[in-house]
Every structure is written in structure tokens, then in C-alpha cells.
Amino acid sequence: MKFAGLAAVAALLAFAVGWSFPGWLLVVLTVAIAAFFRDPVRTSPGGDGLLLSPADGLISQITQVELPRQLIGEGALAPGSATRISVFMSVFDVHINRTPVAGTIKRVAYVPGRFVNADLDKASDENERQYLVVEAADGTRVGFTQIAGLVARRIVSFVREGAIVGTGQRIGLIRFGSRVDIFLPAGYRPCVLKGQRAVAGETILAVRDGGALVAGARQ
């Protein structure tokens, strides 16, 4: 929240020297920044064969694609195609990202790039992005990607390779508008629709045949 603090200090200084209009603008900016960096507590459903949304936002795409090469290789995913679900975050959404499944972080790969509109399909290949693979206790590996957007200028990671994460645990954030893609493992089917809104750590994006819902965790 240091950005909100800096804006608040600037607002106080503006009022102190008699700059009323700039002061009120800085007050509005302070509130907007505080809202952007909010981090609400979520209750994550737990169970076998469930994949939760890694981000708040709009389900903008559900499509079949070839897996990105950054998610392929030893300790990561096997080559091939997968169903990709894209969640687009506007500047008004919570930007804390969460892991879709409990397990071990097997890969974290950062790729610098451009800052085109994250809602465009080419953003998956051209924008600044970070790839992650998490391996569940049953050996299932799930790949997902944090993608910077038109205004976003930094992807912040909270985890490293080898970290143990719980379902819905915070794994990072993307500043100021962005997107997260998740690639479904074989045997999983989407249970959301394009145009639906998702809540990070709570909305079930996909289920495996035979998957079962059990008690969740609040965090």
C-alpha cells in the first residue's frame, strides 16, 4: 500500500500549501490506488479434481490452443494442445492472483514483452508475462500464465519454484489491468461460460470427471 501512502502524503502537502483542487485530485487518486491493491479474504473450495479461478474478472476466452513452450519440458507439461480459459481483469477488479490448485510450484518463468490490450488474443504471445506450473498431490500438473496489460507495467510474484501452496493461496499480482490464462489438464472440462465473471480462489473453473467437493479454507 506504499503507493496509496505516497499519494496521501502528496494530498496533505497540497492542502498544506493551499492547493485545494490538486489536493482533492490526490485524495481521489489515493482512494483509487487503495481500491486497486485491496486484498479481500476468500473461502476456497477444496477437493479432488477441482480447478479454481486464479484471478478476479471476466471469462473472456475458452478455446483450444497449443501449449506455450515455456510451460513444456522436464518438470512441467507435456507438449500438445489444451483448453485455455482466459480471465480478463479490468482496473476495477482485485488484482491479487491465486493458485488454482494445491501442490508444489514446479516452474516459474518470466518473459519480458509488450503491453498491448490484454483482452486481445495476441497478448498471450507478445505481452510481458509469467508462466507457472503447479503439481498437485496426485501428480496432475496445471499451467497458468500471468499476462501484463495495456496499462500494467509489472508482474509481482509471491512464490518461487519448489514452494508448497494451498488451494487458492496468493501467488502474485499484476499492476493495473491484465489477464490470467489457465490451461486445463487432460480429463478436465470447463464449468464456466464465456462472459461469466469469476472470483479468484472461489469460482470453480473446471472439474475432472469424478471430482468431488469437500470443505474449503478461508484465507
Confidence grade of residue 2 (pLDDT, cut at 50, 70, 90):
low
Residue 219 lies in a domain: no
Q: What's at 200, amino acid-wise?
A: A
Residue 170 lies in a domain: yes
The residue annotated as part of the active site, out of 44, 53, 60, 178, is 178
The verdict on 120 and 12 lying in the same domain is: no
pLDDT in tens, 167-217: 999 999 887 668 899 999 999 999 999 999 999 999 999 999 866 666 566
Task: Report percent pLDDT > 90 for the chain.
Answer: 50
The verdict on 79 and 13 lying in the same domain is: no
The verdict on 30 and 47 lying in the same domain is: no
Q: 87 is in which domain, residue-wise?
A: 43-212
The verdict on 118 and 182 lying in the same domain is: yes
The verdict on 93 and 63 lying in the same domain is: yes
Give yes or no: 178 in active site: yes
Residue 217 lies in a domain: no
pLDDT value of position 77: 93
67 burial (CB, 10 Å; 0-12 / 13-18 / 19+) is middle
Asked if residue 18 has pLDDT above 90, the reply is no
Residue 127 lies in a domain: yes
Q: Return the higher-pLDDT residue of 127 and 141.
A: 141
The verdict on 52 and 152 lying in the same domain is: yes
Give the H or E element holding residue 5. Answer: helix 2-16
Task: Report percent pLDDT > 70 for the chain.
Answer: 75
The verdict on 122 and 184 lying in the same domain is: yes
Q: How many domains does the chain have?
A: 2
pLDDT value of position 51: 96
The verdict on 23 and 120 lying in the same domain is: no
| DSSP labels, 54-89 | SSSEEEEEEEEEEPPGGGBSTTSBPSSEEEEEEEEE
pLDDT value of position 218: 73
pTM for the full predicted model? 0.83
